[in-house]
Amino acid sequence: MPELPDVTVYVEALQARVVGHRLRRSLVKGPFLLRSASPPLSATQNRTVTEVRRVGKQIAIGLDGGLWLVLHLKIAGRLHWKTGAVKLGGRNQLAIFEFDNGSLTLTEAGTTRRAALHVVEGALGLASLDAGGIEPLDATVEAFAEALRSSNHTLKRALTDPHLLSGIGNAYSDEILHRAQLSPVAMTQKLTAEEIDRLYDATRATLLEWTERLRAEANGAFPENVTAFRPEMAVHGRYREPCPRCGAKVQRIRYASNETNYCARCQTGGRLLADRALSRLLHKDWPRTLDELEARRR
């Protein structure tokens, strides 16, 4: 799922291309894409784009008259920009937004359609789509600590909860926790002040670093290679590959359709976190440490 760094670069690319230009029409192919009925999508036609902004993991395109087109790409949604006309067709193509200088296309890979489009009016309409989490790059360390400690959750859950922190998902939470050398299952209300400071610094550093990486990669072009799995990442998507800090093999916890990657040596004192599926199967045979795991594999 595109997260804060990816969405920021999308927003910047759109700002450079559509602000001040007229949206001629919007064509929606996916029957489940449009999640609002009033104002109608047709009301956005022939309006000039006044701004583009990020709202959590969503992209909000502001139009004159106070209307907003708000796109949530979810897991597999991606945007593409063409300077010429584009025909609506192809299994993965869900929508085309035709501007006076080019076309923005929304595609979604796979068979499960999760991407969402809302049309809302005014500041209140836009606010209704904001989960309310603080902006991690704007917050002070005190506000960051207050948000984390407002409820007692695991760090992984807290970092990815949009009601607490805006724009962070599965991929960058793994990277943040690895940089901070904290366990994904540590409880927020048990963190020390030093651990909070470390997590705050790691959050800012990770998000800023990846925003700059993606910005440099795009190099002024429209970002076309948006993915949650990048070889430069420390742990996310790198199960059983070496940790870049200590060389131990990256571990994982799987739950539903999500996966958390971590380094046991760097983050959990060498202790393996119980993977729900495997630990239920193996019970007492589940290895508790990296040494036990390696011994079993040998």
- Domain ranges within the chain, ordered by starting residue: 4-127, 150-297
Q: DSSP assignment of 8-31, as one string?
A: HHHHHHHHHHHTTSEEEEEEE--T
SS3 293: helix
Q: Directed axis angle between helix 193-218 and helix 141-149, to 10°?
A: 110
- pLDDT at 86 (0 to 100): 85
- pLDDT at 99 (0 to 100): 97
Positions of the chain with pLDDT under 50: 278-287, 293, 295-296, 298
- pLDDT at 289 (0 to 100): 52
- pLDDT at 282 (0 to 100): 39
Instruction: Tell how strand 258-262 and strand 251-255 pair up.
Output: antiparallel
Q: What are phi and psi of 275, to 5 degrees?
A: -80, 125
According to DSSP, residue 262 is labeled: E
Give exposure, 165-204, as e/b (b: 16+ Cβ within 10 Å): bbbbbbbbbbbbbbbbbbbbbbebeebeeebbebbbebbb
- pLDDT at 111 (0 to 100): 79
- pLDDT at 284 (0 to 100): 47
- pLDDT at 283 (0 to 100): 43
Amino acid at 104: L
Domains 4-127 and 150-297 share a fold: no
Q: Let me know: does 167 contact 135? Beta carbons within 8 Å.
A: yes
Question: Which residues, including other chains, have CB under 8 Å from residue 174's CB and lie 6 or more apart?
Answer: 184, 233, 234, 235, 236, 260, 261, 262
Instruction: Tell me how many degrees the CA angle 108-114-120 measures, rounded to the nearest 5.
Output: 105
Sort 217 into a burial class: Cβ within 10 Å, 0-12 / 13-18 / 19+. Answer: middle
CATH code given to domain 150-297: 1.10.8.50
Give the model confidence (pLDDT) of 235-259 as tens digits: 999 999 999 999 999 999 987 668 8
To the question of pTM greater than 0.85 for the whole model, the response is yes
Give exposure, 103-114, as e/b (b: 16+ Cβ within 10 Å): bbbbbbeeeeee
Beta strand residue intervals within 83-187, DSSP E: 93-99, 102-108, 116-121
Element housing 50 (H / E)? strand 47-55
24: which 2 tokens?
């001629």
The architecture (CATH level 2) of 4-127 comes to Alpha-Beta Barrel (3.20)
State the chain's maximal CA–CA distance in angstroms.
67
